[in-house]
Structure 1
Amino acid sequence: MNSALHPEHTFAGEVSHGQPSPGGGTRDWFALALLMFPVLLVAVDNTALTFALPAIARSLDPSGVQLLWIVDAYALVLAGLLVAMGSLGDRIGRRRLLLVGISGFAAVSAASAFAPSAEWLIAGRAAMGFFGAMLMPSTLSLIRNIFREPGRRRLAVAIWAAGFSGGAALGPIFGGWLVEHFWWGAVLLVAVPIMLPPLVFGRFLIPESKDPSPGRVDGASIALSMLTMVPVVYGIKELATHGPGVQALGVLAFGLAMGLVFVRRQRALASPLLDLSLFRNRVFSTAITANVLALFSYNGFILFLAQHLQLLEGMSPSESGTAMLPALTAMVVAGLLVVPLVRKIRPGFVVAAGLALSATGYALVAFGDHDAGPAALLAALLILALGVGSAETISNDLILGAVPANKSGAAAAISETGYEVGSLLGTAILGSILTASYQQHLSLPHSVAQTIPAASADQARETLAGAMELVGSLPAPVAEGLTAAARAAFDSGVHITAAIALVLMAGASVLAAVVLRRVPRAK
């Protein structure tokens, strides 16, 4: 088939137990329903935790860097292990790996819900990333094995992709409601009941599948991938927060050096952990770039918008989640509507238009007036969500269709890694720049500086949450001065991060339009 959007392939040499029939049946859709539980949970967990950050900040009193690591530790470990776990699933069985991941994720989530310190929570989030890396490649691989007929498989994969957007839409509402009515740990504890259905019924309804001759697992490659990801992200965070320094530059250089060693090792191995030859395909590499940047823009936006609505506009977690729901729902709808659209319009132009919409959303933030209230930011989020939903769905489809049939499993794992790397970088880079800009631009009024002790001033300068917590204990005139100063400092960071994202999205839109313009329409 000549359309890059409709790969008609299955896993080469696939071994399957349970043998779902090509025509399929009700059991197939029950299996898909069970597979959606971990997909939804991972997506809900990311956005729900963002809305719990103010409550976590008040409860555990983390530093600004620790607050970012509470989010980043999960995504960092997840991104570093996705390809490795996808390879492990090929060897021991994808259903088996899925069930191990579900059990571990639920247990660690329950332990992290009662974390007594920021360090405990960061470690718990890292462990959740370890088990979470077992979930996503397994779900997509199992869906491909269950739904062998191309049309049904495309529908199942579309539902799987919509699960991310749907989970993101539910996360703010669900997480906000839990934080408001219980405590921030309930956001993590809820993983236990959500994971029970696939854990109980998975062995009976989800057929097992594995590759009989996948090659050996290279432990050195797994270690090198982690030694690349962790130092690079840490170095970026340090540079954004504290500026150029020996430690930040040294750690970043070490990560880049490990990345070079990783690339050389993959080229030398007969069965590499990451097949670098896939990136020689311009459609594949461009679609990966679009995917990463779409998630980069979305997660960076959600990070500062959640803080703005709760800390500056005074909304409760559930109120802020409800305010964002129309935009997040629009992302789900956009992702589904563009599938038939690519039968009339070349997919590359659809991806480019989605990225251009994302750039437009950021332009409204970069050049807009934040004093007008949250309406302008929510309108920008709506435009951004429409763009992300459109671009991410089609770029993911292009990734899968741009490679040979026997490389489909590797392409799926790389696509999953792109999801997490984009989310990670959006939070780490834009979040770090936002924090650094806030700390640099916060100028405490004389009345505030004279009223509060030095320790409280340091607390206000560290994070927006710290400043707004202090506001509640100050006399009205002094509180108003601190609020105005914190708002101005935070908004300065928002303008800067929005301008950076605007340039990246606009550049990615042009790249997609140029490189992907020859990809034929779907049939």
Structure 2
Amino acid sequence: MENPAPLPRMKLLLATIFTLTVIEFLQSGMLAFGASPISGQINASPEEYSIVTAAYAAVAITAIAKMRWFIERLGWRRFILLSIAFFLTGAGISGLATSFPQFLLGRLVMGMGGAAFMTSARMLVNLIPPSPARIKGIIAFALGLSCAISAAPWIVAQFVGADWWNGIFVLLAALALLAAFLAAITLPDEPLPEESHTHAHFGPLLVMAGGSFLALFAVQRALYDFYSTLPYLLALTAAGVAAVVWFAWHQHGHERPLLRLRQLARRRYLTALGVFTVGYMVLGANNTMLPSLVQRALGFPWHVAGTVQAIGLTASIAVFFLKLRIIRTAPSPQKFYVAGFGALALFGWLLSGLTLEADLWRHVLPAIGLYGMFIVLILATTAIHGFTEFQDDPVAFFHAQQVKNMLAQFGTALGVAGANLLLQWRTAEHYALLNRRFVSGDVEMSRQLEQLGTWFASANGAHGAAQLALGQLAQTLNQQAALLAQLEYFRLLVFVGLGLAALMAWQRTLSVPKPA
């Protein structure tokens, strides 16, 4: 693993990298977009479904931290096959679940295996000997990311439209079986010499896992009882953060750590971690906000929402290939960061001006295309330039990838929780303000009731026309409150994007050094 030899089956290795990456981003995208129908099928409240997100992230972070320890002892082939076995078992439990506890168990088992797919896919690129051919591995990895993010909403919309939500897990299981076949015939299986093995660190790892869950659980709980249990939530957050900090301190000072955090404390890498964390937080938040905007606020059906989002996100594929052409002659990342965060700001600006009469194809689709541009330019650029200090040290490079993907899991879950918290809080505030006009005697309300009552009476007869008119107004009130809350979120993205674009234009830490 440390000194890779040329592999005769290059195309199969590239297919393995592509498939593992697709599984990781497809499952996260599908379960985010399909949260509402899945919750209904397993009789889970929004609060319970949010616990699944926090628990999965905690298990995933732990599994990623431990993966090199397993690879040292099992070799690549056995490790990937074992991970896929856990993933398949979890997918089976999740797909057959009829209750929240069953679904939670399934997702935890999936996390034990599938959490390492993205890190594994990236590290398998290093099995290609240092040469121009290695860029093919990077392309396979990035293309898998772009294709999965684009396809996830459309696939979920088809499954939900066919009243077969379990199909999500059938598809994931089929892709996992394909990955197992590719890994079995492609990957080496030699473990590393025992003298190079890292220590187990089971106790500190459990502390870190518990801390991650407590911190994420506290954020999730803030959705439901922020004001009534604020001291309790602050205590949980403090305990979770303290546990994670203790784990980092323990690893930093250990002679044979599970993760070489002391060696990773480089300015360039830490800056890259910050960019990655922000990127994955935005990814998690937008995975929550976009379906809510299109379905709940604008009132479009599932299959339309999934199709528009998927088509818009295919822009990420086109942007990726354009970036490859540009980077050959102008490799400096500065322009990509500015363009990426600028695209995020423009995405937020376009969506912050929507009304209930917005057209999906003219007003929403171009904005989603800009969001796809942001994903590729920020995440792919940082993946290329954030790890250059560790290229000559395979172990440090591996650990750097592990830490990055642990933070990716945490950042995504934090983005989902933050978006839900903001959506619930601001929707309630706007609903309370709008509801003040929803009283008997209000002139505008009476006028609209009269107009709607006349229309319903002409279409359905006089019987029940008044009740139908009142119900229509109540639905419009809910839509307006949800839309106003989401518009505030997208306005916030404008300032975040502009601020980060300015910061990345000014910083020099991630810049390519100019030749002498």
TM bucket normalised to smaller:
0.7 to 0.9
The one-letter amino acid of 1:242's match is: D
User: Are the equivalent residues in 2 in contact too, given 1:56–1:184 (CA < 8 A)?
Assistant: yes
Equivalent position of 1:347 in the other structure: 333
1:200 is aligned to 2:200:
no
Select 1:507's aligned residue among 471, 474, 499. Answer: 499
User: Are the equivalent residues in 2 in contact too, given 1:97–1:135 (CA < 8 A)?
Assistant: no
User: Are the equivalent residues in 2 in contact too, given 1:54–1:307 (CA < 8 A)?
Assistant: no
RMSD: 2.8
Q: Distance in 2 between matches of 1:222 and 1:115?
A: 29
For the structure 1 residues 121 and 511, does the alpha-carbon distance in structure 2 shift closer, same or farther, using more than 3 Å as the test? same
For the structure 1 residues 80 and 52, does the alpha-carbon distance in structure 2 shift closer, same or farther, using more than 3 Å as the test? same
TM-fit CA distance, 1:248: 0.8
For the structure 1 residues 94 and 521, does the alpha-carbon distance in structure 2 shift closer, same or farther, using more than 3 Å as the test? farther
Equivalent position of 2:399 in the other structure: 410
User: Are the equivalent residues in 1 in contact too, given 2:333–2:381 (CA < 8 A)?
Assistant: yes
User: Are the equivalent residues in 2 in contact too, given 1:367–1:495 (CA < 8 A)?
Assistant: yes
1:357 is aligned to 2:346:
no
Select 1:332's aligned residue among 312, 317, 320. Answer: 317
1:424 is aligned to 2:407:
no
Equivalent position of 1:476 in the other structure: 468
For the structure 1 residues 186 and 236, does the alpha-carbon distance in structure 2 shift closer, same or farther, using more than 3 Å as the test? same
Count of residues paired in the alignment: 480
For the structure 1 residues 367 and 284, does the alpha-carbon distance in structure 2 shift closer, same or farther, using more than 3 Å as the test? farther
1:102 is aligned to 2:97:
no
Moved more, 121-130 or 209-218: 209-218
Local SS of the residue matching 2:96: coil
Local SS of the residue matching 1:140: helix
For the structure 1 residues 258 and 449, does the alpha-carbon distance in structure 2 shift closer, same or farther, using more than 3 Å as the test? farther
For the structure 1 residues 235 and 249, does the alpha-carbon distance in structure 2 shift closer, same or farther, using more than 3 Å as the test? same
Moved more, 496-505 or 77-86: 496-505
Local SS of the residue matching 1:405: coil
For the structure 1 residues 250 and 122, does the alpha-carbon distance in structure 2 shift closer, same or farther, using more than 3 Å as the test? same
TM norm structure 1: 0.84
Equivalent position of 1:222 in the other structure: 205
After superposition, the C-alpha distances for 1:40-78 in whole angstroms (9 at most, x for unaligned) are 122111122233223224333432322333444433422
TM-fit CA distance, 1:369: 4.0
Local SS of the residue matching 1:93: helix
Q: How does 1:59-458 map to 2 (within 5 A)?
A: 59-145=41-127, 147-208=128-189, 210-212=191-193, 213-244=196-227, 245-342=230-327, 343-369=329-355, 371-374=357-360, 375-406=362-393, 407-443=396-432
User: Are the equivalent residues in 2 in contact too, given 1:176–1:318 (CA < 8 A)?
Assistant: yes
Q: Distance in 2 between matches of 1:320 and 1:61?
A: 23
For the structure 1 residues 312 and 370, does the alpha-carbon distance in structure 2 shift closer, same or farther, using more than 3 Å as the test? closer
Equivalent position of 2:463 in the other structure: none
TM-fit CA distance, 1:106: 1.2
For the structure 1 residues 227 and 511, does the alpha-carbon distance in structure 2 shift closer, same or farther, using more than 3 Å as the test? farther
The one-letter amino acid of 2:335's match is: F
Q: Distance in 2 between matches of 1:55 and 1:186?
A: 13
Q: Distance in 2 between matches of 1:204 and 1:340?
A: 33
Local SS of the residue matching 2:164: coil
Equivalent position of 1:456 in the other structure: none
- For structure 2, the residue ranges without an aligned partner over 5 or more in a row are 441-465
User: Are the equivalent residues in 2 in contact too, given 1:179–1:187 (CA < 8 A)?
Assistant: no
User: Are the equivalent residues in 2 in contact too, given 1:445–1:482 (CA < 8 A)?
Assistant: no
The one-letter amino acid of 1:69's match is: I
After superposition, the C-alpha distances for 1:453-485 in whole angstroms (9 at most, x for unaligned) are xxxxxxxxxxxxxxxxxxxxx953233122212
- For structure 1, the residue ranges without an aligned partner over 5 or more in a row are 1-10, 451-473
Local SS of the residue matching 1:166: helix
Q: Distance in 2 between matches of 1:341 and 1:184?
A: 41
Higher RCO (C-alpha 8 Å, min separation 6): 1
For the structure 1 residues 370 and 422, does the alpha-carbon distance in structure 2 shift closer, same or farther, using more than 3 Å as the test? farther
The one-letter amino acid of 1:516's match is: T
Moved more, 256-265 or 236-245: 236-245
The one-letter amino acid of 1:172's match is: P
Equivalent position of 1:7 in the other structure: none
Q: Distance in 2 between matches of 1:45 and 1:440?
A: 33
The one-letter amino acid of 1:175's match is: V
| Rg (Cα) greater in structure | 2
The one-letter amino acid of 2:388's match is: G
User: Are the equivalent residues in 1 in contact too, given 2:201–2:258 (CA < 8 A)?
Assistant: yes
Q: Distance in 2 between matches of 1:229 and 1:296?
A: 15
Q: Percent identity among equivalent residues?
A: 18
TM-fit CA distance, 1:278: 4.8
